[in-house]
Structure formats: C-alpha cells, structure tokens
Amino acid sequence: MLPIDIPLALMVLAGGALGAIVGSFVAALVMRWPRGESVVGGRSRCDSCGGTLRAGELVPVLSYLMQFGRCRRCGVRIDPKHPAIELAGALIGVVSVLAHPLPLALVTAGFAWWLLAVAAIDAEEQWLPDALTLPLVPLGLLAAWAGLGPPLLDRALGAVVGGLGLALLAWIYRALRGREGMGGGDPKLLAGIGAWLGVLQLPFVLLGAGLVGIVAALAMTARGQAVGAATRLPLGSLMAVAAWPLWILVAGNSSAAIHLYML
Ligand SMILES: [Zn+2]
C-alpha cells in the first residue's frame, strides 16, 4: 500500500478548492471589468442573458462541465475562459500548498492569483490597469516586512530598478524605432514583480518572459495561427507567468521550507 500523507492530502484538497473559488472571482473580474461592469457588487449572473446563477451553477469548473458549457436558461455557450481561469486558480492553490508550508503557501497562492488576473486581463484586453499593477509594490514590501520571501532591501531595490529600468528601455525603443515597444503599464508591473522577487531576479523575469513568449508562439503555430514579426504578445502576461515559478524558488530558499514536504 502506498503511504498517504493525510494532512498533506487535505491541504492539497483545500488549496485546490479555495483556488477554484478565487479563480471564479478572477474570471468574473477579467470578463466584467473591461466592460465597465461592477465586479464586486451584485450576484453572479450569465454573461449573455444576465440571469442570476443559482447555487448549483456556481460550482467552479464542475458546473461548466455538467451544463456542457452552456447557460441553463438561454443555452448560449459560456466563454470557456471561465472554467480555464477557475482551473488555473485551483492549480495555483495545489502547487502553493505542495511548495511551501503555511503561511508562505497562502502568500505564494495570493501572489499567483493576483498575477493570474494581470496575465488574463492583459492577454484579453492588452490592458494593465494601475489598480492591478501598482498595489503589488506595497504588498510585496509588506510580505518582506513579515519575513516571507526575499529581504526587504532587495525587494525595494527590485521595485525601483524594475520600474525605472523598463521605462528607460521603452524610452530608448521609442527613440530608436519611432513607435511604442510596450504598453505604459509594463514598467509598473515589473516594479510590482521586483517588489516580490528582488532586484537580482529581474533579468530572469525578462528572460523567462522571452521563453514563455516562444512557447506561446509555438503553441499558436501548432494551432494553425500565423505568427510573424508583427505578432504582438502581451509583455505583461509573459512577465506575470514567468514571475511565479521564480517566486516559488526564491521564497523557498529564504525560508528553507521546500524539503519539509519533499522529504
Ligand atoms: Zn444565459
């Protein structure tokens, strides 16, 4: 018989369930915010007919599967981004619990859920709202002050160097090429990511963003989409996706916690 670590199994279940619930909020935020609709107020409803969802229709991922991806009232296809974001949220919860003990696991998941919203909204709308990028700076410094992840000075420098560095790169690109190379929100996002990972990780964030971009371009090619020099992948999404695995590594190093579960 395989030995099963019951407390860990329960933690994984709880992490996945909490992640799916957070994911459904993130999905609602990503779908509604760009259309100027209220995100926090009001009950959950169908994007198409506006019908209020009942309890049985609110279960992340499962409701979607049981209704064959359609609304129960109007029969219109539910955007598959809903269950995809919910699933990503659940996965984040599971990985965070496996990677770190509490309370670092919760902070790790919180950072990733936030990045999920950033990545999804930038991929969907080519838009990085200040309300999503800027709070990452004080939140990252607060986590450092609480002793979670890299030290405070490293992260304060990361915010400054990340923000100013990318703004400078954008300025140089504009001067040389005569057009915008990135969105105005990208330097603010890298400031936020720097406040979590620290200044030394910034080159790896950009390198990782490049790698994620290559993988995304290959996936688009495999799906028959044309990819060329004019294809624009949202830099914000790429940096957000690259930042999280790096956080898991650096946060684990400073708390020496990974092997607690890996042993
Ligand atoms: Zn409907």
Ligand 1 centroid to residue 37 C-alpha, Å: 17
pLDDT for res 259: 39
Ligand 1 mean position to 77 CA, how many Å? 8
Pick 68 or 40 by higher pLDDT: 68
Separation of CA 54 and ligand 1 centre (Å):
12
Q: What is the pTM of this model?
A: 0.90
Which amino acid, one-letter code, is at 216?
A: A
Q: Using one digit for the tens of pLDDT, what is the confidence trace for 43-78?
A: 688 888 888 888 888 888 888 999 999 998 899 998
Q: What is the mean pLDDT of the chain?
A: 89
CA distance 14 to 9: 9
pLDDT of residue 3: 66
Ligand 1 centroid to Cα of residue 80, in Å, is 14
Band (pLDDT 50/70/90 cuts) for residue 2 is low
Q: Which residue has the tokens 């700076």?
A: 137
Whole-number Å distance, alpha carbon 57 to ligand 1 midpoint, is 11
What is the CA(63)–ligand 1 centre distance, in A?
A: 13
pLDDT band at 40 (very low <50, low <70, confident <90, very high): low
The confidence score (pLDDT) of residue 260 equals: 40
Residue pLDDT, tens place only, 169-208: 999 989 998 888 788 899 999 999 999 999 999 999 999 9
What CA dihedral angle connects 8, 262, 149 and 17, to 10 degrees?
A: -30
DSSP state of 51: P
Q: What is the pLDDT of residues 93-127, one digit of tens each?
A: 999 999 999 899 999 999 999 999 999 999 999 99
Q: How far is the CA of 71 from the centre of ligand 1 (A)?
A: 5
Q: Confidence class of residue 263 from pLDDT cuts 50, 70 and 90? A: very low
* Token output for 44: 């959950």
Distance 134 CA to ligand 1 centre (A): 35
The neighbourhood of ligand 1, an ion, using CB within 5 A, equals 46, 48-49, 71, 73-74
Quote the CA–CA distance of 263 and 248 in Å, as a whole number.
17
- pLDDT band with cut points at 50, 70 and 90 for residue 253: low
CA of 56 from ligand 1 middle (Å) equals 14
- For ligand 1, the distance from its centroid to the CA atom of residue 30, given in whole angstroms, is 18
Residue 34 has pLDDT above 70, yes or no: yes
Instruction: State the distance from the centre of ligand 1 to the C-alpha of 243, rounded, in angstroms.
Output: 36
Q: What is the DSSP letter of 222?
A: H
Task: Note the pLDDT tens digit of each residue in 116-163.
Answer: 999 999 999 999 999 999 999 999 999 999 999 999 999 999 999 999
How far does the centroid of ligand 1 lie from the alpha carbon of residue 35, in Å?
A: 17
Helix and strand totals (H; E) in the chain: 11, 0
Helix (H) or strand (E) holding 7: helix 6-32
Distance 48 CA to ligand 1 centre (A): 5
What SS3 state is found at 129? coil
Q: Which residues contact 100 (CB under 8 A, 6 or more apart)?
A: 108, 248, 251, 252, 255, 257, 258
Two structure tokens written together for 46: 């169908």
Rounded Cα–Cα distance for residues 176 and 178 (Å): 6
Compute the Cα dihedral for 119, 121, 122, 124 and give only its sign. positive
The answer to whether 236 and 183 are in contact (CB under 8 A) is yes
69 C-alpha to ligand 1 centroid (Å): 11
Which of 209, 190, 211 has its CA nearest to residue 128? 190
